[in-house]
Each structure stands twice: as C-alpha cells, then as structure tokens.
Amino acid sequence: MKPFAKLFALFGEAIKQTRKKIGFTQMKKIRTLCAMLFAIAIPILLASCGVLYDFKPIKQFDQKEYDKMIISVLDRNFKIKPIVSEYEQFDAYRTCIQDSLWQHQTAVQPVQILYFKKDSLLSYHINCTAKGGLSNLNWNTDQRFETFPPATAVPITPQMQNLSKIRDIYGINDDSEYLIVVFWTNMLPKISKSAIETVKTNLRENGAANKAAIVLINTDKFYVTLQ
C-alpha cells in the first residue's frame, strides 16, 4: 500500500473514533491528527497524478461555490441531476468493494467518471488516467471519449460491478438507458469542470444525449470531514 493510501486508512479509523462516545479532549486530539494527515495526504495523492496545479484547499462546504459550478454546467440539452454527497454516502461508495487498493487509492481520487448501462459498469475514469496539460487534464487521452460509451481507462473487474450500488446510496431513480456519474470537488474546480464538459461533448457528438442521465455528485463534505 502506498504512503497516501496508508494515510487515508488512518483517516477512516480516526473518523470512526470521533463518532464514538469519547471525551472532548480525546476527540479534539483525533480530529487535529486528521487535519494534519489530510494536509499531507491530499497533496501527495494529487502530485502522484500530476494535478497539483489545480488544487485548492477547502475548509468547509461552500454553497456559493457549489452553486457557481452547477450553474456553469447546466444545459437544457442534457438530463443533469446535481447531488451534494454526505461523508457517509461517499464512504459507502468507497467501501462497496472489499479491496484495500480500491478503497484507499482508486476510490478516493477527487474526480471520477462512471458510465453504466442500467446496472452494468461499462466505462470508468479517474483523474490519474488522464494526461496533464499546462493547466488542465485531457480526459480524452488516447481518444477514449471519441466513442459512446467511451473506452474505459481503468480495466473493469467483476468486483467493480458492485459500484451499481451508487443508485441506492444516493437515491438515484432514473430509467434512462445509460447513467453517467461524475464525482467532482471544488478542490479541483478546473479538472472537475473539464470532466463534466467532456461527458457532455461525448454525448453530443455521438448523438446520445437523449439516452443518458448525468448525475453530478459533489464530494466536498467527504474531504472536509477528514479535517
């Protein structure tokens, strides 16, 4: 397990402890430790993928910044549903696959794109799999998004089909043929927006806008809770 993966494992344990009935002093120490680990781990996590240039530390969920992003990407030509994730929801997503590498390295990547056909995962992308430019990422690396659904960037294992639990975790009730989920955060605003716009372009250029629903899940509360 890589260093930042170990740190995220520590985060999880510390958060669980804060939810138990412990003394105020002990809880304060645990949360202080979390903040220190978070400050170290997030830059390491992002640097490993070459995306530090867009990193903006967040101390709390900012409704204004959230609204600003959503307004900038809404488009009446697409079926778009925005969701603000609670810590518990994203943690449930992170742990729906019983694999340490997945839980502490892959699933905690700040920006992710998932394409489902009904409950079958067809295509999966994370910020680490997109090549970096001068100020953003190219999600269309190797022309993956030239087709619909796009060619997956991460090999999909049978275990990853458990990710269809996203529907239950976030209460997504949509009968579209395809469901596209984008996890995004205001820690990486440019990369988050480019991921969303890449999905829209993929649908538009392949005449698939009427076949899919796009669910935009903001995970700021997950990362803030780790502090």
Q: In what order do the strands lie in the sheet with 178-184?
A: 79-84, 212-218, 178-184, 112-117, 120-126
> How sure is the predictor about 90, in pLDDT bands with cuts at 50, 70 and 90?
very high
Is the model more confident about 206 or about 103? Answer: 206
Q: How far apart are CA 151 and CA 48, in angstroms?
A: 23
Mean pLDDT across 50-59: 71
Mean pLDDT across 68-76: 97
So what's the pLDDT on residue 2? Answer: 46
